[in-house]
Structure 1
């Protein structure tokens, strides 16, 4: 069972809209991961987004990484490594985090109009640098603060899984 973090507080009088999403730690062959920067709001996040109707988690994860970075990925394993449950305004969102191997980075992002307005761009950096960068950001919006809390938690859990994976590989050598 993956670890879960709850962000925000369920308000009993609020009628929430449920949303399910994926977040991806997309690991390149050089060991860098994709990180998305939102200029509007001044925060960093993992690639990811909503799971569409009749779409499975793996397809959503592959689609989101390709849309936001242009990269194609292959998810590792079948299970997510961690989840978050958010209560923000009238939104109840559950995000599932996966680790993926980058197969090709030669594509171009295909951002939505809203993502272009938000000034989304992506960068590749080592996991530790990504965690440091996310932690040092000072989001200028409530949304940015929620995303910062969510994605720092998910990336930290992914780092633990990757460190454990690397430790097991070393033990087998």
Structure 2
């Protein structure tokens, strides 16, 4: 998959990079029949993100993407396109985050998310908006948390790439 961006906000050196733990994650730009995008909103911390999460052992990247979409949006999805990947060198947690993103379409009806404990604590909700509104919501938030800054950069890159690819 094509690398769309490398984020290294703290200028982690190549020497330090070799000691970071690798984490593989997935994200999806999920579209419904009206071309609305599923966005996760943390009401408590006031940030927006696209669905996704870590790849579990014995799971392909695509299987992880489909599972995470089901958990975080309550929706069954089908992957339709590869968007690309990002690499985030996160000094604060000693991690290199390699994130693979796909475009996925909703299959059937919208369901109810099954959020993890931290998502419940952050008071997550799923909202469906057009892609321009999604880009606006993700981009408008100011972050004090370095990880949220990485999430924002990554989500904006994926959303803008999807907009260009899909011509929406």
Query: TM-score, normalising length from structure 1?
Result: 0.87
Distance 1:91 1:105, change over 3 A: farther
Aligned residues: 162
Q: Following superposition of structure 1 onto structure 2, how do residues 14-163 of structure 1 map, counting pairs within 5 Å?
A: 15-77=19-81, 80-89=82-91, 90-163=94-167
Q: Are the equivalent residues in 2 in contact too, given 1:41–1:144 (CA < 8 A)?
A: no
Q: How far off its partner does 1:98 sit? A: 0.2
**Structure 2 gap segments, 5+ residues each:** none
**Structure 1 gap segments, 5+ residues each:** 167-173
Query: TM-score, normalising length from structure 2?
Result: 0.89
Distance 1:141 1:40, change over 3 A: farther
Separation in 1, partners of 2:135, 2:80: 21
Q: How far off its partner does 1:137 sit? A: 1.6
Q: Are the equivalent residues in 2 in contact too, given 1:3–1:81 (CA < 8 A)?
A: no
Separation in 1, partners of 2:27, 2:16: 29
Q: Are the equivalent residues in 2 in contact too, given 1:42–1:140 (CA < 8 A)?
A: no
Aligned to 1:13: 16
Moved over 3 A (4+): none
Q: How far off its partner does 1:40 sit? A: 4.1
Q: Are the equivalent residues in 2 in contact too, given 1:19–1:92 (CA < 8 A)?
A: yes
Question: Once the two structures are superposed, what CA deviation does each residue of 1:65-95 show, in whole Å capped at 9, x if it has no partner?
Answer: 1111101100114xx2121100112010110
Separation in 1, partners of 2:45, 2:145: 6
Separation in 2, partners of 1:66, 1:111: 10
Aligned to 1:171: none
Coordinate RMSD, CA, aligned: 1.6
